[in-house]
Chain A
Amino acid sequence: MILSELQLALPEIFVATMACVVLVADLFVTEQRRGFTHTLAVLALVFAAIITLRVMMPVGESLLAFSETFVRDRFGDVLKLFAYLVLAGVFVYAKHFLRAAGLFRGEFYSLSLFALLGVMIMVSAASMLTLYLGLELLALSSYALVALNRDSASGSEAAMKYFILGSLASGILLYGISLIYGATGSIQLGQISDALAAGMSDNLMLSFGLAFMVVGIAFKLGAVPFHMWLPDVYQGAPAAVTLLISSLPKLGYLALAIRLLADGMGNMHDDWQAMLAVLAALSLILGNVVAIAQTNIKRMLAYSTISHVGFVLLGILAASPAGYSAAMFYTIVYSMMSAGAFAVIILLSGNGVEAENLDDFKGLAKRSPWYALMMLMIMFSLAGIPVFVGFFAKWQVIAAAIQSGFVGLSVLAVVTAVIGAFYYLRVVKLMYFDEPDNAAPVTAPIDFRAVLSVNGLAMLGLGVFSGGLIGVCVRAFA
């Protein structure tokens, strides 16, 4: 059976339609019935998953469409499925917070769906133009989401910073793209790859283009020294939005990096490996060390993100299928861990006041043993302690890096992971070893509790039975 081009892009078309439907439908929903918008958005994700699953690409095959600007392959399909999953979790977590904070509006859902669409387009991009299109769609939705609470000064400041630095990054990336186009004569990733394989004369232009592209990617991922926006945005945005931008876009940025560097510029891997190595090393060191000094948990998790970006880069720079699949596994797992951690922050926030300070976690084990246990598993998973899934993510990345000869960098990575363990342990310490400041029981709606429990237990379950997801990621690059 030959799938028509439109059919290949059916998930994207569906999500785009649903984003518009949600936008319009919400206009007819009263404040009290806003739950309808929420349900509609979650249903959209469920059906998007069904549509994607129905025509999963077989392992090792890929189909190009729309004048070779769009690609459908196993890697993309798997990433998209996890993007739906993560966003569905985010919706459930966010509803609780948005209600309490008086931000429960339809825009959150339509903007989030547009952000998802951006991620999906990036994931399926076969040309640099498509990539850029997806990136901007994601970025613009994110800027607006950060400013969701327009009366909050810190939120507006964060949105402004995010917008200016994000635009700068997009500009730099675009400049890199134009240089590569100038040197190779194409924006189609496959053709760029062919042109590079055929041997290019204008090496200077290519190197410049590559450097600009790597800087653009590093900006988006938040790799040191292009990380400055990240802690401020994480802290300034409402917790529900931080939850979103700390999880979903990472899947898209991973695709951005792999599509551009591996698919497009694979032949120049010597050049970008060296650049990524520096970025990874700096991110690992700075992220882990500076996180220790934080007293605001959103900021702490922001620096923790930076250190995890270091690990993802370590996987990518291995420049081998093992490395890409390790980075993919890491990103998927990371987005779940991050979503879970921010969910617990939301859980502890009440009456519109965010539980931003580490001290808000004091004695959680006494107030709510179950959620303390979930947070404990998420923290140990982030720290990379077996048998939690975060360990298997780190381990695969290190294995891939060592295989490609980056032994020194791998040793650095594990040493910084030990430093990083300290601040995750501190959260556990606050929850389990300290007495609570207030004894108010922790309450949340049933759907929130169910999803958080599944999220926390997944840290353990995916770890004990890690073979399954590892296999999925490895086959994505077969």
Chain B
Amino acid sequence: MSAMNWPILSLIVWLPIVTGVAILFLSESRAAMGKALALAAAVAALVLTLLAVAGFDMTTAAMQFQEKTPWIEAFSINYHLGVDGLSLPLIALTALTTVIVVIAGWTIKDRVSQYMGAFLILSGLMSGMFAALDAMLFYVFFEAMLVPMFLIIGIWGGPNRIFATIKFFLFTFFGSVFMLVGLIWLYLQSGSFAVADLHQLPLSLTAQIWIFLAFLIAFAVKVPMWPVHTWLPDAHVEAPTGGSVVLAAVMLKIGGYGLVRFSLPIAPDGAAALDWLVIGLSLVAIVYIGFVALAQRDMKRLIAYSSISHMGFATLGLFLTFAIVQNTGQTDGAVLGISGAMVQMISHGFISGAMFLAGGVLYDRVHSREISAYGGVANTMPWFAMFAVLFFMANSGLPGTSGFVGEFMVILAAFKADFWFAFFAAMTLILGASYSLWLVKRVFYGEVANDNVAGLSDLDGREWTVMVVLAILVLALGLWPYPLIEMIEPSVANLVDHITNTKINP
């Protein structure tokens, strides 16, 4: 631990929220001030996050930078924050995404300050959720973030935004209430909402299965897993570009994070008993949703389906553990699978965010999301085409990009579990390449399709900045993933160690 004794996590959480609330009340004529403040807060939060990363001890799985204050004493609920190798990378991803979204939203015209404020509040809530070590605090952050997202899609979204945002809200709300019941039941068993206490709580197999299912509904909706994924394409298509980026880059990771932090360690035996279910759903997502993506004619919809398919990899990697340990008797493969899933989540955060931004660049100019409205964009926007092709290549898992690392680790782990798991998972290399590259071909290459495309102008300075940052990250993580894996691994090893021991009361 470093000498940093000030509450760095609280600052990361509350700085964006407080600034965001303040910005909400700026009038339309103060829009420039709102944007400047938003950017300042987002950058400050990112700097704080990087300080936390710098001060983070990579050799231990213990929670770091902990803060604990009583919150609701009658129920021994604490305001308890802390990070380990599983949550800190996701907080960093959140902080980075916020900066990108603020920059990407610079051209918004309608209710600018409120737009920026909503994103900052959302960002703080997401960081708070990743850092929460008290289940009740987690749940509060988990649910509260629905409110800004609901408003972001509903106010700044596309033509069918109201349907999309209400569907988004009700789906996620429906999922999470079961988790609430589960958490309350666990509290009544253990007398504590502390995540660490819940991890140690012995439970019968039946109880674990029920708890596991209650949590699974909540997190499966968030991931989203097939068949509760249908809100995502609608939400993505209708959301403003910034909303899509946050949804894809961070919000989808919440489901995966929840599975790692809650489902697996609290109900390991339940997870072991039902791992076939999650693996099955993940494989369906990878293969079937891959085919669905292939059939899309709307760019954002295609990227949305691609996200579902890629998140299938993350859930697959998490739940291979039990089969691997059973087959090999060792935990190495399981650590590989879960680390792969975590890397996949971070990498997908960069890539999907970048793809939605690329879609936004085109939409800003032509105001169409239809793939058929484009063709030969590379002729008029060569620089943009270069970045976009890189991101779509990364999405199809090209070695040297971040998209390759996570997928490779998960497929490698899948081989240790079952050949057929690996076989179906590897299908994504073909499917992902098909829909990604086919999109690239239809949109970017070939003859200039129409006057709209002929009149396109290449990236401006603001778009350049965003694209360059994301391109560097995608390549850096692809070529040198070691620092990230080093940060994740102790926590994953600790987790695997925990979940491979039964919690059933002797």
Q: Residues of A with Cβ closer than 8 Å to B?
A: 373, 380, 385-387, 391-392, 395-396, 398-399, 402-403, 407, 410-411, 414-415, 417-418, 421-422, 425-426, 428-429, 432-433, 466-467, 470-471, 474
Contacts and interface: CB of A to CB of B under 8 A. Distances in A.
Interface string B182-202: 001101100000000000000
A309 B162 CA distance: 30
Nearest to B171: A418
A418 B188 contact: no
Contacts of B154: 428-429, 432-433
B170 A399 contact: no
Interface in B131-165: 139-141, 143-144, 146-147, 150-151, 154-155, 161-162, 165
Contacts of B139: 386
B480 interface: no
A468 to B, nearest CB: 9
B156 to A, nearest CB: 10
A422 B163 CA distance: 11
Contacts of B178: 411, 414
A300 to B, nearest CB: 16
A466 B72 contact: yes
Contacts of B165: 433
A395 B183 CA distance: 10
A421 B170 contact: yes
Interface of A is mostly: helix
22 contacts: A385-B147, A386-B141, A387-B144, A396-B75, A399-B187, A399-B188, A410-B184, A415-B174, A418-B170, A418-B173, A421-B169, A422-B170, A425-B150, A428-B150, A428-B154, A429-B162, A432-B151, A432-B155, A467-B71, A467-B74, A471-B74, A474-B74
A218 B308 CA distance: 48
A225 B184 CA distance: 30
A367 to B, nearest CB: 14
- Residue from the set A386, A426, A467 with the largest chain B CB neighbour count within 10 Å: A386
A148 to B, nearest CB: 37
A363 to B, nearest CB: 12
Contacts of B451: none
Interface of B is mostly: helix
A415 to B, nearest CB: 7
A426 B166 CA distance: 9
B147 A380 contact: yes
Interface of B: 24, 70-75, 77, 139-141, 143-144, 146-147, 150-151, 154-155, 161-162, 165-166, 169-170, 173-174, 177-178, 180-181, 184-185, 187-188
A402 B184 CA distance: 8
Contact of A395 (B141, B150, B184): B184
Contacts, number: 86
A399 B146 CA distance: 23
Contacts of B147: 380, 385
Contacts of A433: 154-155, 161-162, 165
Contacts of B185: 402, 407
A385 B146 contact: yes
A399 to B, nearest CB: 5
A425 B143 contact: no
Contacts of B151: 428, 432
Contact of B72 (A426, A428, A470): A470
A251 to B, nearest CB: 21
Contact of B73 (A385, A422, A432, A467): A467
B162 A386 contact: no
Contacts of A426: 166
Contact of A411 (B143, B173, B181): B181
Contact of B181 (A398, A421, A425, A470): A398
Given A398-B180, A398-B184, A474-B74, 6 more contacts: A385-B144, A410-B184, A415-B174, A429-B154, A467-B74, A470-B74
Nearest to B146: A385
B315 to A, nearest CB: 24
A125 B181 CA distance: 35
A396 B174 CA distance: 19
A178 B468 CA distance: 82
A333 to B, nearest CB: 14
A422 B174 contact: no
A441 to B, nearest CB: 14
Given A387-B144, A402-B185, A470-B72, A418 B150 contact: no
Contacts of A417: 177
Closest 5 CB pairs of A and B: A414-B177, A386-B140, A467-B72, A474-B74, A386-B143
Contacts of A373: 24
A392 B141 CA distance: 13
B129 to A, nearest CB: 11
